[in-house]
A and B are shown apart, each in its own frame.
Chain A
Amino acid sequence: NAGVTQTPKFQVLKTGQSMTLQCAQDMNHNSMYWYRQDPGMGLRLIYYSASEGTTDKGEVPNGYNVSRLNKREFSLRLESAAPSQTSVYFCASSEASDVADTQYFGPGTRLTVL
């Protein structure tokens, strides 16, 4: 039982390049999330998927797209990377998006955009 896995662990991009961050969970959770974490800013929600087949914007969605490929997988795409997207990205999942549900986080992807 791996929990939430993310690939890659580290990535360096040049401005304008694109990439997809992958996330998968094996807990049969319905809801999945993407956060970014920057020094002094805390965790900020980029996009979430309350259930398979649905995605919604969070607090900071600009410059990102997501795909809920199936119940297990939720990917985050940067179409044209910018230095402001340098951050640590965390994927998380929960049984549902109910107020009492706790979230399980992946190990994170450290992205640097030059």
Chain B
Amino acid sequence: SQKIEQNSEALNIQEGKTATLTCNYTNYSPAYLQWYRQDPGRGPVFLLLIRENEKEKRKERLKVTFDTTLKQSLFHITASQPADSATYLCALHSGYALNFGKGTSLLVTP
């Protein structure tokens, strides 16, 4: 069956450091992978989409890599800030809709 796995343990880092979150998947052959951010009590918000032929994509302090051989995506937030504290979800298309990982909670402390 198709699976999307993200670290269930929360990631705690200090302000200013780089946060790295991992998304692994099995039984997908994705052309695209997406990352979303979810704040408590709110719906997910789209952050970045990366194509299979893009090794890396950047948006401001965010960087995503996509390795279809390893079946893995890494999501980096550089110079992290307390406002970056949230849950981050990766998502892959199942053929008719997005399937989401369970998300990794990030806490950035001053």
Q: Hey, which bits of chain A sit against chain B, CB under 8 A?
A: 4, 33, 40-43, 45, 48, 50, 56, 58, 90, 92, 97, 99-100, 102-108
Residue A107 contacts which of B32, B43, B101, B102 (CB distance < 8 angstroms)?
B43
A42 and B101: CB pair below 8 A?
A: yes
Decide if B44 is an interface residue (CB 8 Å cutoff).
yes
Closest-by-CB residue of B relative to A41 is B102
Q: Hey, which bits of chain B sit against chain A, CB under 8 A?
A: 30-32, 34, 41-46, 49, 51, 89, 93, 95-103
Q: Contacts of B45 on A, CB cut-off 8 Å? A: 105
B97 and A42: CB pair below 8 A?
A: no
Provide the bound-state CA to CA distance between A108 and B42, in Å. 7
Q: Contacts of B95 on A, CB cut-off 8 Å? A: 99
Chain A to chain B contacts (Cβ below 8 Å), 15 pairs: A42-B89, A42-B100, A43-B44, A43-B100, A45-B98, A45-B99, A48-B97, A56-B96, A90-B43, A97-B97, A100-B49, A102-B46, A106-B43, A107-B43, A108-B41
Residue A45 contacts which of B34, B43, B97 (CB distance < 8 angstroms)?
B97
Provide the bound-state CA to CA distance between A40 and B8, in Å. 8
Query: Separation in Å of the B42 CB from the closest CB of chain A?
Result: 6
B46 and A42: CB pair below 8 A?
A: no
Residue A42 contacts which of B31, B43, B49, B103 (CB distance < 8 angstroms)?
B103
Query: Separation in Å of the A41 CB from the closest CB of chain B?
Result: 7
Closest-by-CB residue of A relative to B6 is A42
Query: Separation in Å of the A52 CB from the closest CB of chain B?
Result: 16
Residue B32 contacts which of A40, A42, A99, A108 (CB distance < 8 angstroms)?
A99
